[in-house]
Structure 1
Amino acid sequence: MASGRDHDRATLACSLPMGLLTSLWLGWFNAALTTLAFVVGGLWLSPDLDVRSNALRRWGALRWIWWPYRRLLPHRSLFSHGPLIGMALRLVWLSALTLLIWKAAASLLAPAFPTPSQAWPDLVSALRHHPRTLIGILVGLEGSVWLHLILDGDPLPAECRKPWRRNRRR
């Protein structure tokens, strides 16, 4: 299992190759966003947010937002380190908090600040017209998770592994 410093170094070292590879598929602008998402995913949205880690320390004064996540998910479980599932849960958690804060700010600053329901059509329209941007960001975030799992030595959490033995009758 790699240390936090090793995870950080590998994330930074692999970010440029990740961007170059995705530029062939998504174009340079979206590859830059993929690279940025890869770095953010590896340094701030790491699967190790459920323990005391460099990623958790990087949140500084906002590290308290991960307290429920840390209490509910056991370390290296399918829900923290699982491919697709782990990052999806972290993104859902951040999105829910962002939505709550946005709604609170919109209610306090009513006419000057748009509510989420007012801004939602614009966001959906932007994603509909630029799907490669969303794909690039999601590929970067998930790529950082896979790098983390590979560095830990086992790409799948224990819950995903099945014994490959067949039951034989003798």
Structure 2
Amino acid sequence: MATGRRHDQFTNYLALPYGLICLLWLGLAGFLVGSFAFWFGGLWLSPDLDTNSRPSRRWGPLAWLWTPYRKLVRHRGWLSHTPILGSACRLFYLASMIALACWLLQPLGAPAPQHLAIKLQQCWLLKRGLCIAALGGLEASAWLHLIQDGDPLPWRR
């Protein structure tokens, strides 16, 4: 199992090659979106958000947003350390927190959660390739983490 520092090093090293693959497929925008998504996924949306870890602390003053997630998800459990499902769980949790914040801040002018959902749908319809590059980057960085931990397939433990 790799240390937090080791996870960060590999994420930083491999964000560029993933971005280059996206560059060949989608051009400069693909490179920027793909490499940023890989980097963000590895450093801020890591499978280790289920503990008080480096990725958790990177959220700074917003780190408290991940406290309920840590309470709900067992460390290295199937909801956090499973390919595809783990990333989907973290993205769903983050989207839920953003929607809740928008709903609570609507009286202060924040957009309605439904408006954000419509914008996401429009983004998917108009920029599907970039959305796939972003989701692929998030998932690839999660796989990198799982492989370094030695558990890309948790049902084989």
TM-score by length of 1: 0.85
CA RMSD of aligned residues (A): 1.7
CA distance in 2, matches of 1:91, 1:106: 22
Which one has the bigger helix percentage? Answer: 2
Change (3 A) 1:86 1:120: closer
Task: Tell me if the contact between 2:35 and 2:137 (Cα under 8 Å) persists in the aligned partners.
Answer: yes
Partner residue, 2:45: 45
One-letter amino acid matched to 1:9:
Q
Unaligned runs of 5+ in 2: none
Partner residue, 1:132: 129
Aligned residues: 157
Q: Which runs of 4+ in 1 moved over 4 A?
A: none
CA distance in 1, matches of 2:149, 2:111: 43
Share of identical aligned residues, percent? 46
Partner residue, 1:86: 86
Partner residue, 1:167: none
Task: Tell me if the contact between 2:123 and 2:131 (Cα under 8 Å) persists in the aligned partners.
Answer: no
Say whether 1:14 aligns with 2:10.
no
Change (3 A) 1:43 1:122: closer
Partner residue, 2:25: 25
Q: Deviations over 1:28-75 (max 9, x none)?
A: 212210110111110011001111211111111211111111112111
CA distance in 2, matches of 1:119, 1:148: 30
Bigger drift between 130-139 and 69-78 goes to: 69-78
Question: Shift of the alpha carbon at 1:17?
Answer: 0.7
Higher Cα radius of gyration:
1
